[in-house]
Amino acid sequence: MTYIDDKDLQTSMKIFLDTADTEIIGKHYHSGLIDGVTTNPTLIRKSDRNPEIVYQEIKDIGIQDISMEVIGDKFNMISEGKRLFKKYGKVATIKVPCTPNGLAACMALSKEHIRVNVTLIFSPAQAILAAKAGAAYVSPFVGRVDDNSFGGLCLVKDIANVYAKQRVGDTKILAASLRGVRDVSRAFEYGAHIVTMPPGVFAGMYNHVLTTAGLTQFDKDYEASSRALELVDTV
């Protein structure tokens, strides 16, 4: 019989929340099922708050992996990445786009042992470049690929196949832009190491119509059994 080590369980099938809402992050983090948080300028703008205050609040909740996006040319991305890492420590994952500037920044930051998430991945070729640049994570955008009439989950599978054949072990696939619960399970099935999703999708993972029906039946049977016992006690 083969036993799975606890350490293996801790490093597989990681779930991140894609949000800047610290109240919701705190609620779900205390379930013990959330491993990290991804943010981006759009999510931060929706919160109408200072990004660095949001980052600090997420860190204070206890999240150990927070993606923080940097922009500009490679020099700005490198300097901002270093500054954020210095300020927030090892919880900081620096997000850069899969562009020449972004990959140059990735290479420089990763050489200083700063975790980098290369985002806006839409092809295996981009994922190959990101791995060679030292990315800790590559983020294929599943939903956006689907929006353009291509198979977003197939992209995850293609990247996983390339990485497996080339024995890429240091770069993990972080499937992003997931629109539904089925996307989550399929992303893991196709080789993603991590998935990030809106809180609503995470909440939906608990639910299934047959679970609800089964629970309703259990409650009815329990009540019926309780009433039967009460009748026996009165006889």
The pLDDT score that the predictor gives to residue 235 is 56
- For residue 25, pLDDT over 80 is answered with yes
The confidence band for 47, taking pLDDT boundaries of 50, 70 and 90, is confident
C-alpha 195/C-alpha 117 separation (Å) is: 13
- The residue assigned the tokens 């042992």 is 113
pLDDT, residue 5, reads 45
CB 98 within 8 A of CB 130: yes
Question: pTM of the prediction?
Answer: 0.88
**For position 230, what pLDDT does the model report?**
64
List 14, 74, 95, 157, catalytic entry: 95
95 carries an active-site annotation: yes
pLDDT digits (tens, 9 = 90+) for 112-130: 999 999 999 999 999 999 9
Average pLDDT over residues 150-178: 96
**Contact in structure between 14 and 188 (CB atoms under 8 Å):** no
Instruction: Report the chain's terminal Cα–Cα distance, integer Å.
Output: 53
- Percent pLDDT > 90 in the chain is 74
Q: Return d(Cα 45, Cα 77) in angstroms, integer.
A: 19
